[in-house]
Each structure stands twice: as structure tokens, then as C-alpha cells.
Amino acid sequence: MKKKLLILLVVSVLVSMAVIGCAPRVEPVEEPTPVEPVEEEPAPEPAEPIEIAMVVKNLGNPFFEAAKKGGEEAAAEVGATFIFDAPATPTAEGQIEIIDALIARGVDVIAVSANDPEALVPVGKKAMEAGIKMVTWDSAIAPEGRQIFVNQADMEQIGRIQVQMLAEMIDYEGEIAILSAAAGMTNQEIWIEWMKEELKDPKYEKMELVAIVYGDDLREKSYTEAQGLFKSYPDLKGIISPTTVGIAATAKALEDAGLSGKIALTGLGLPSEMAEYIRRGTCQEMALWNPIDLGYLSTYVSYLMATGEITGAVGETFTAGKMGEYTVVDDGMGGTMVILGPPFRFNAENIDEWADVY
């Protein structure tokens, strides 16, 4: 019996071994080879947009509001960020404070219409040392404090044309006065020098410049200064106001005093602000350029300076978007500039076309 049991055991062991041996072989699962992480090119950081800061003489001046419009348009076209700022009143100190803050912020380029050419030089230098491009436009910072000037029109022509317009209105005879912006503002000071040059021509010998007063590009002050002129110079025949704020305030003062037509008025005015006075004959003729275009060109130049496409050197040429081709020229002050174009004369014949534009 013991023997039978043993045989049984051996057989069952052999059977089980055979069964195991015939069982389908299970392939060992291959360990997956670890996938080497693919070295991917890091996605390029989206380029920070160029930051352009436009700093103007003071807030609340419609001339600069128009320039801002052009600046915003150009910045949008090139994909830049546009900052617009100014002090409440037109002082160099106020502008220095703003420019200092822009340097700290690290903008790429600052475009300034200066309240004083010299006072802004140190802060302009500071900006350039920090790698910020310095552009000046409308009213220039002295050349040491900036890299390029966007000039609205030939300075000499702007000065001379205003004397020529007034002389025609008063038949080349009588006392005249100038009601300017703030003393020391680059653009008005240079234009006034050219007015004086023009007046040296013998054809103006019967015209006498009796006063230059300053309304600081503030409406109230300009109005009061105009009244002061009427009082101090009862024989006054004409006033030149080479500022959009000054000419509009003087026109109002003339009408309020019942002097429209008695004292002639010319200068540089915004068609939108002066249309009514031109239609009524208080101002027969005035000149200006397009401030929207000036803001556009200044912003475009600022962008090209910031990207390094231009450096501000004489002879460089570039395309400023919709405004076309420009060339950098000598500014005659020791720096370089780009000129927008000639000034335009506005009178009763053409004012309606422009009154709604700027």
C-alpha cells in the first residue's frame, strides 16, 4: 500500500510538472526604457513693447491734445506703449520731476516739448546715461540734452511769416506788440528773434515793436496781458501772438473790449479755436502746421530711435509710416533735426475746411 501511495505521488508530481511545462510562456513584460526628456528650445519671451513717453509743456493745452492724438496713432501702428504727461503749469521744474519719474520707470524713449532749453539738459543727460533715448520736439531742449529734434517748420520762416501777415493787415504802419507764451521757451524765443530780423527790412520802417509780453500759455494770464497792452498802448495797431493759447485769449480780449477790427491780430493759432474769430474778422489771418501730424512724426521718430533703426545722425533717412520719407539734417544749433514741413496760412477763405480737423 505504501508503495502504491508513493507511485501516485510521483505520478501526480510528474503530471503537474508536465502541465506547467506546457503552459503558454508568458513573455516577461519589458521594462519601458526611460524616455530622455527632449531638450526643447525655450519659447522666446514675448518682446516687451517699446515704451514711448511724450512730455509736453503743460496739461490742458488743445495744441498738445491734438499732438497726443497723432502720437497715440503712431504708437498703435508700431505696437508701442504710449505715455503722455505734463505739469499743470508750464515750468521746467515740473517737467524735470516727470522726466525723473520716467527714468526710474525705465521707459525706452522720452519725447519732450521743453519749457526751457537749458534747464532740461541735466535731466536729459541723466536719461541718456540710463540708456533712454532723448527726443525733443516743438520746443527744443539744447543739443547736449537730447539726440534729435522734431521741428514743426523752419524757425526763420515761422518768425518772418508772422510779421509779413501783420504788415499786410496794418498797411506797414503803426505800433505793434508781441504776446508770447512763457519767457525762455525755446520755440517762441527763436521765432521772436526772427520777427525782429524781419522787422529790420526797410519796408517795415513805419512799424514799431513797442512791447513783448508773456501769457505763459495760460488762458487767464494771456487774456490779462492782452488787456494790459490795450491799456498801455492806446495807439496800438497790431498784435502778433506766436502761441495757440495766446492768440485765442487775445482774440477774446479784443472782442470783449470792442477792439475787434481796431487792433489787428495774427500769430499761430489752432483753426478749431480760431474759426469764429477768423469768420468775424477779429483775426484776419494766422499760420500753423498740423499738430496731429507733428505728434505722429515725433512718436514715430521716438520709436525708431528706441529700436536703434536711426541714431539721429545727419544724413539718415527713414520712413515715418503714413507720413513718408524723412532725412535727418543739421539743426543749426549744434544738434540734428527732422522738419515736418512748411507752415500753412489760414484765413476766411480756407478756415471752414480746417475748423473741424484740429
Give contact residues for ligand RAM (rule: CB under 6 A): 57, 61, 63, 113, 138-139, 181, 187, 217, 243-245, 268
The residue type at 15: V
Residue nearest to ligand RAM (CB): 63
Cβ proximity to ligand RAM: between 152 and 302 the closer is: 152
Q: Which position has the grid cell 471752414? A: 352
Q: With beta carbons less than 8 A apart as the criterion, state whether 82 and 55 touch.
A: no
C-alpha cell at 126: 541723466
**Shortest gap between Cβ of 40 and ligand RAM (angstroms)?**
54
Q: What is the CA radius of gyration of the chain?
A: 37
Cβ proximity to ligand RAM: between 175 and 273 the closer is: 273
Cβ proximity to ligand RAM: between 181 and 297 the closer is: 181
Cβ proximity to ligand RAM: between 244 and 299 the closer is: 244
Cβ proximity to ligand RAM: between 174 and 343 the closer is: 343
Q: Which position has the grid cell 530780423? A: 197
Q: How many CA atoms lie within 13 A of 72 on its CB side?
A: 8
**Shortest gap between Cβ of 234 and ligand RAM (angstroms)?**
28
Please, which residues have CB within 8 angstroms of residue 327's CB and are 6 or more apart in sequence? 315, 316, 317, 338
Q: DSSP E strands: which ranges in the chain?
A: 51-55, 81-85, 109-112, 133-137, 148-151, 174-180, 207-214, 236-241, 264-267, 285-288, 317-319, 325-327, 329-330, 336-339, 344-347
Cβ proximity to ligand RAM: between 139 and 298 the closer is: 139
**Shortest gap between Cβ of 87 and ligand RAM (angstroms)?**
14
> How many whole angstroms separate alpha carbon 217 and alpha carbon 253?
15
**Shortest gap between Cβ of 146 and ligand RAM (angstroms)?**
16
Q: With beta carbons less than 8 A apart as the criterion, state whether 358 and 293 touch.
A: no
The residue type at 65: E
Please, which residues have CB within 8 angstroms of residue 242's CB and are 6 or more apart in sequence? 158, 162, 178, 180, 181, 187, 188, 191, 192, 195, 267, 268
> How many whole angstroms separate alpha carbon 272 and alpha carbon 351?
9
Cβ proximity to ligand RAM: between 113 and 299 the closer is: 113
Cβ proximity to ligand RAM: between 63 and 326 the closer is: 63
**Shortest gap between Cβ of 297 and ligand RAM (angstroms)?**
14
CA 328 to the chain's CA centroid: 17
**Shortest gap between Cβ of 180 and ligand RAM (angstroms)?**
9
Cβ proximity to ligand RAM: between 51 and 164 the closer is: 164
**Shortest gap between Cβ of 50 and ligand RAM (angstroms)?**
25
**Shortest gap between Cβ of 110 and ligand RAM (angstroms)?**
17
**Shortest gap between Cβ of 226 and ligand RAM (angstroms)?**
15
Three-state DSSP at 98 gives helix
